[in-house]
Amino acid sequence: MLVVVPTYNEKESIPGALARLLEHVPGADVLVVDDASPDGTGPLVEQIAADERAAGVARTVTVLHRSGKQGLGAAYVAGFGWALERDYDVVVEMDADGSHRAQDLPALLAAVPDADLVLGSRWVPGGEVVNWPKNREVLSRGANTYTRLLLGIPVHDATGGFRAYRADLLRELQLVDVASRGYCFQIDMTLRSLRAGARVVEVPITFVERELGASKMSRDIVVEALLKVTGWGMAERSRQVAGAFRKVTGRDVEHPARH
């Protein structure tokens, strides 16, 4: 199993995130996908990895250095590709800032045998958020309700970034076609998984607002998600209307061959 952690200026938070993963899931390898963080996150992780190797720690920590800030979605696609090339069977998404608790990861992994995609969910019974301002909670709940209703998907937390994929599903999803850059990437991947017939399960988690570093949430990220979800929803409704029209006009009826 591999945990993919995207980073950009996470020097303050990444040591703690790696330490907690080692404590709660010691057998998980970690790939840090760093977008050339100006604060030196990448070299710091390299040093942590070297120290662990010297100490005989069983897991492997690797840094995938990228040339610049290219967006969350692109970072995950790069990380997924790296994992598939090395034949990991399960690939986990997880933030570096501590908002995704390592102690919740075993519960996600326990659900993998019965699912292709396991979502760590804030908005199912048992899930919660800690230290979030009310406006962030309203935004997240509203975005997920809008997504669920417009796209017609049975998922309560499609925007969450704490999740576990079976490698076979990632291979099926044609990652080269995924163009979503920001947090819309999570919705995109959820929708693609459901359309591919994947078994998707939500497991409650506790989401904790970061204590160190700065949030990457921005107006542009919100706008991208709104526009793309609306476009996907309209496309889905168009397909439904077209399907209904074909049925009404009899175009889906098979006629016997004429002799």
**Mean pLDDT value of segment 241-255:** 56
**3 state SS of 18:** helix
Give the residue with greater pLDDT, 124 vs 220.
124
**118 has which bridge partners?**
164, 201
Percentage of residues in the chain with pLDDT exceeding 70?
Answer: 85
Residue 51's pLDDT is: 98
Cα 24-185-159 angle, rounded to 5 deg: 65
Percentage of residues in the chain with pLDDT exceeding 90?
Answer: 70
Residue 236's pLDDT is: 67
3-state helix, strand, coil in the chain (%, to 5): 45, 15, 35
Residue 244's pLDDT is: 55
What is the sign of the dihedral through the CA atoms of 93, 96, 101 and 102? positive
**C-alpha closest to that of 157 among 130, 181, 132, 129:** 129
Q: What's the CA gap between 136 and 209, in Å, rounded?
A: 10
Confidence of residue 231 (pLDDT cuts 50, 70, 90): confident
pLDDT tens across 150-161, in order?
Answer: 899 999 999 999
- Residue 129, CA atoms < 13 Å, CB-side half-sphere: 18
Q: What's the CA gap between 248 and 166, in Å, rounded?
A: 40
Q: What's the CA gap between 232 and 147, in Å, rounded?
A: 10
Confidence of residue 250 (pLDDT cuts 50, 70, 90): low
Query: Has residue 212 got a pLDDT over 70?
Result: no
pLDDT tens across 62-110, in order?
Answer: 999 999 998 899 999 999 999 999 999 999 999 999 999 999 999 999 9
Place of tokens 């995704």: 100
User: Which of 34-38, 51-55, 254-258 is predicted with the least confidence, judged by mean pLDDT?
Assistant: 254-258
pLDDT tens across 190-211, in order?
Answer: 999 999 999 999 999 999 997 7
Provide the 8-state DSSP code for 98.
S
Query: Has residue 246 got a pLDDT over 60?
Result: yes
Beta strands in the chain (DSSP E): 2-7, 29-34, 61-65, 90-93, 117-121, 128-130, 163-166, 200-204, 206-208
Superfamily grouping for domain 2-249: Spore Coat Polysaccharide Biosynthesis Protein SpsA; Chain A (3.90.550.10)
The domains of the chain are located at 2-249
**3 state SS of 8:** coil
Q: What's the CA gap between 240 and 2, in Å, rounded?
A: 38
At position 25, the amino acid (one-letter code) is V
Helices of type H across 3-94: 14-24, 41-55, 72-85
Confidence of residue 259 (pLDDT cuts 50, 70, 90): very low
pTM metric for this prediction: 0.85
Pair of tokens at residue 22: 């080692």
Query: Has residue 119 got a pLDDT over 50?
Result: yes
